[in-house]
Amino acid sequence: MRGQMLAIALVIAGGIAVCLMSLVNYSSLSATRSQYYQQHQFADVFVSLKRAPRHLLQQVTQIPGVTRVSGRVEGGAKLEVAGFDDPVSAHLVSVPETGQPEVNQLYLRHGRLPEISRSDEVTIIGSFADAHGLQLDDQLNAIINGRRQTLTIVGIAESPEFIYVIPPGGMLPDYQRFGVLWMSQAGLAAAMDMKGAFNSLVLQTAPNRPVEDVIDQLDRLLERYGTTGAYARADQFSHRFLSDELEQLKAMAIIFPAIFMGVAMFLLNVVVGRLISTQREVIAVLKAFGYSNRQIGWHYSQLVLSIALAGLLIGTLAGLWLGRMLGGLYIEYYRFPELLFRISPLWVLALAFVSLSAAWLGGWRSIRQAASLPPAEAMQPEAPARYQVTLPERWLSWVRFQQPSRMIVRQLARRPGRTALSIAGIAMATAIVVVGNFQFSSVSLMVHTQFGRVQQQDLTVTLTDPVNQSALYAMARQPGVLYTEGRRQVAIELVNGHRRWRTALTGIPEHAELQFVVDKNLNTVSIPPVGLLLTDYLAVALNISPGDQVQVRVLDGQRLSLQLPVAGISSEFLGVGAYMSLAAMNQALREGPVVNQVLLNLDPDLVDTVYRDLRNTPRVLGTALRQAMLDSFFETLASTFLTYTFIISLLGGIIAFGVIYNTARISLAERGRDLASLRVLGYSHNEVSHILLGELAILLILGIPLGWGIGFGLANLVITALQTELYRVPLVITGKTLALAANVVVASALLSGFITWLRLRKLDLVAVLKTRE
């Protein structure tokens, strides 16, 4: 039985490996993040404002609960990198005269921080340096606040504030075209006309003090200095996306192992039940020799627990190895200084307990039957079945079956319960392969929708300040620009009762040609003339439906508080947001026809000319290329997501083989004597093989379509649990996915059938002639 036992052990190992892989990554990344945040004094509260005098920092430190404060200067810059012609933008952050700031300290990979006396020195973020192969003492040409200057790289660093770096107007990281640079306080203040002032504030609070109280007092203190509103770490962009990723790993550690262990329990129940049915005489003899029901039950319990222990050992080793391998991918993605490989022993013990308990419960019904079987009854062979024309035979009376085929139909119909269990096993194997592979098609749809259907511009230009829409005409006349379209984005906070969400409100012009909002069926949604259009994820988070009123707090400009109706709900796969008619938005903000973003379609032959002109345009804050975002999607987000999916699909294939192999072997064990008797009666090897393998073929034909349906349901469960603010995986199950699942199951059946066919050649015909019947 070693083949059967190994197959079941692999099913259990698959569930344990997925669970451990997810838990290892979750605990390791959580521990790494916590240590990174603690060692480098990551802020609890963040504030952006227009301009405030530095002496105001003294009042901030006196707010109850504030423990550390860093007032700094932030700004934007356009860079020129040697050998790279695309537009490059950067976010500038100042470092104090003391070197490391009090809050959000830097981890220096190489070099040092800029000296206070040098305004031309910068430390750059590691992701940007790696993308361009930049090293110490390399130089960058930068345009800061309209002034051109040459910057020398003196350090390469990482920061807990910028684990996840998004360019202005973008949704995904773009390490080649956007980076973070740290300059000396004096140098950046002079470049941004911020001497004696600051426009960014980060601070830490006491653990026993509610962050909300500190935020309320900060907002009151900084209100007249153009603050966009203080917000907690939970709303900080980089931290929020990293937290979403960790929650997703946590969900995966629950869902996939639950599915795999459910299949293992089902399989153990079938295997142990059928095994016991073939060992009735052995059980009777043991009881006749004085073995108790408890001893018989413990004997078969040991069999089940031995299988589970083998699966536990294999799954634990595989899970730890896969977890470390996948952790290396995450560490490269998130740019942590190092990965703390962590897994709680209690989690391993809990997983072992759950696995052994699940395996034992899977075989409990059969074990109980074995223990309670009376000796006299067990010594007797099972009562012969009542043979008659079955209902399927009546339905198929128009088919002229040969005798072996009739035996197949009659055997399946005579034991409908056992047949149903076999079909269910094959269906679960198919469903697991569907769940493991549907996400590849889902990611393809995400890409097609976001970068082919929703976004049709070549380039998005973000401006430093809103400009009149007439500026679009001047930009449209530049060489290489084929079409321009303006829109406006403002930072807002949506409030519905106790629910709050910081996001961006995007004003889209009427008859937009370059960017659209779509529904779940990928049909274009018209922007309502009045009211907001919210993404479905945001509407659910705020518990809002069309027709409801929502408070919109504008976080810049005049900081208006508006009460607007929700006119509709849209669907997006990447990011969350709120949309509004551009004209209605400007009217609600009490401003004229202005825009702060420009979407461009470019002449492919004059792209370099456009890029050069944009670098020299003073009011351009940053640019985002659609193709660059697409490349970034596959290089970052999709690489981690699809790697995990590939591992799941591989383990799903192993489980499918385990289910199919056991189905074939159990059938052979149950009917071995019958098939050997047929051989004695003159049936050929091929005819006997046809009876057993034909039965397996019918089970496949019935089980695979059922598995497709179960897979659809399980896939829906998976995508519901994996929704995050960054992306929502759509439920897409294509014919290719269904065909792949069917092919994996059929291939497993062919391999299992071949092994069974070989065993059929070794049937013991002499033992059949000696039987008591």
Identify the CATH number of the domain in which residue 524 sits. Answer: 2.40.70
Structural tokens at position 526: 């018209």
pLDDT of amino acid 433: 81
* CA separation for the pair 161, 182 (Å, rounded): 12
Structural domain ending residue among the three candidates 209, 232, 255: 232
Mean pLDDT of the 734-750 span:
86
**Mean local confidence (pLDDT), 173-185:** 88
Task: Please say if the pLDDT value at position 52 is more than 80.
Answer: yes
The token pair at 731 is 């439920």
Distance set, CA 617 to CA 252, 490, 597, 610 (Å): 47, 22, 14, 10
Among 174, 199, 232, residue at a domain's last position: 232
> Do residues 429 and 349 both lie within one domain?
no
Count of beta carbons in the 10 Å neighbourhood of residue 309:
17
pLDDT in tens, 405-459: 677 776 677 777 777 877 887 888 788 788 877 877 777 777 777 776 777 888 8
**Euclidean distance between CA atoms 704 and 700, whole angstroms:** 6
Same-domain pairing of 75 and 136:
yes
pLDDT over 60 (residue 772): no
Residue 38: which pLDDT band, with cuts at 50, 70 and 90?
very high
**Within this chain, do residues 88 and 214 fall inside the same structural domain, yes or no?**
yes
Helix (H, G, I), strand (E, B) or coil at 772: coil
Helix or strand or coil: residue 623?
strand
pLDDT in the model for residue 95: 92
pLDDT at res. 274: 67
Edge to edge, the sheet with strand 45-53 lists 66-72, 197-205, 45-53, 231-232
Residues 220 and 242 in one domain: no
> Does residue 523 sit in the same domain as residue 660?
no
Return the pLDDT at 395.
62
- When mean pLDDT is compared across 227-236, 283-292, 393-402, 482-491, the lowest value belongs to 393-402
**pLDDT band at residue 152 using 50, 70 and 90 as cut-offs:** very high
Q: Are residues 123 and 260 in the same domain?
A: no
pLDDT of residue 425: 76
Q: Based on the domain organization, do 487 and 554 belong to the same domain?
A: yes
pLDDT at 275 over 70: no
* Contact assessment for residue 647 and residue 326, using Cβ atoms and an 8 Å cutoff: yes
Domains contained in the chain, number: 4
Q: Is residue 469 part of a domain?
A: no
In a domain, 31, yes or no: yes
Residue 402 lies inside a defined structural domain of this protein:
no
Structure tokens at 291: 């073995």
* Inside any domain, residue 621: no
Residue 126, domain member (yes or no): yes
Look at residue 175 in the predicted model and tell me its pLDDT. Answer: 84
- What pLDDT score was predicted for residue 642? 65
Mean pLDDT value across residues 300-306: 85
Q: Residues 503-558: pLDDT tens digits?
A: 889 999 888 888 878 776 777 888 888 889 988 888 888 998 898 999 998 887 77
Same domain, yes or no, for 204 and 257?
Answer: no
Q: Is residue 250 part of a domain?
A: yes
Domain extent for 113: 52-232
Residue 587 DSSP one-character state: H
Which residues, 6+ apart, have CB-to-CB distance to 143 below 8 Å? 77, 78, 79, 615, 616
Q: Which of 9-13, 29-33, 491-495 has the lowest mean pLDDT?
A: 9-13
Which domain-ending residue is among 170, 205, 232?
Answer: 232
**Strands (DSSP E) along 354-480, which ranges?**
459-468
pLDDT at 47 exceeding the cut of 80: yes
DSSP structural state of residue 452:
I
What DSSP designation does 637 have? I
Q: Name, in order, each residue with C-beta under 8 angstroms of 242's C-beta and a sequence gap of 6 or more.
A: 29, 33, 163, 164, 334
Asked whether residue 161 falls in the same domain as residue 273, the answer is no
Tokens of 594: 């202005």
Q: Is the pLDDT of residue 773 over 60?
A: no
pLDDT interval class at 151 (50, 70, 90): very high
pLDDT at 76: 87
Rounded average pLDDT over 372-387 = 64
Structural domain includes residue 470? no
> Band of the pLDDT at 381, cuts 50, 70, 90?
low
Q: Does a structural domain hold residue 615?
A: no
Instruction: Please indicate, yes or no, whether residues 17 and 71 belong to a single structural domain of this protein.
Output: no
For residue 770, the model assigns a pLDDT of 60
Q: Which tokens is 609 given? A: 């000319």
Q: Which stretches does DSSP call E strand in 15-82?
A: 45-53, 66-72, 74-81
For residue 67, what pLDDT band results from cuts at 50, 70 and 90? very high
Q: Are residues 568 and 519 in the same domain?
A: yes
Put residue 575 in one of left, alpha, beta given phi > 0 → left and psi -120 to 50 → alpha. left
On whether both 199 and 253 belong to a single domain, the answer is: no
DSSP 114: P
Burial 9-29 (b: 16+ CB within 10 A, else e): bbbbbbbbbbbbbbbbbbbbb
Q: What per-residue confidence (pLDDT) applies to 654?
A: 74
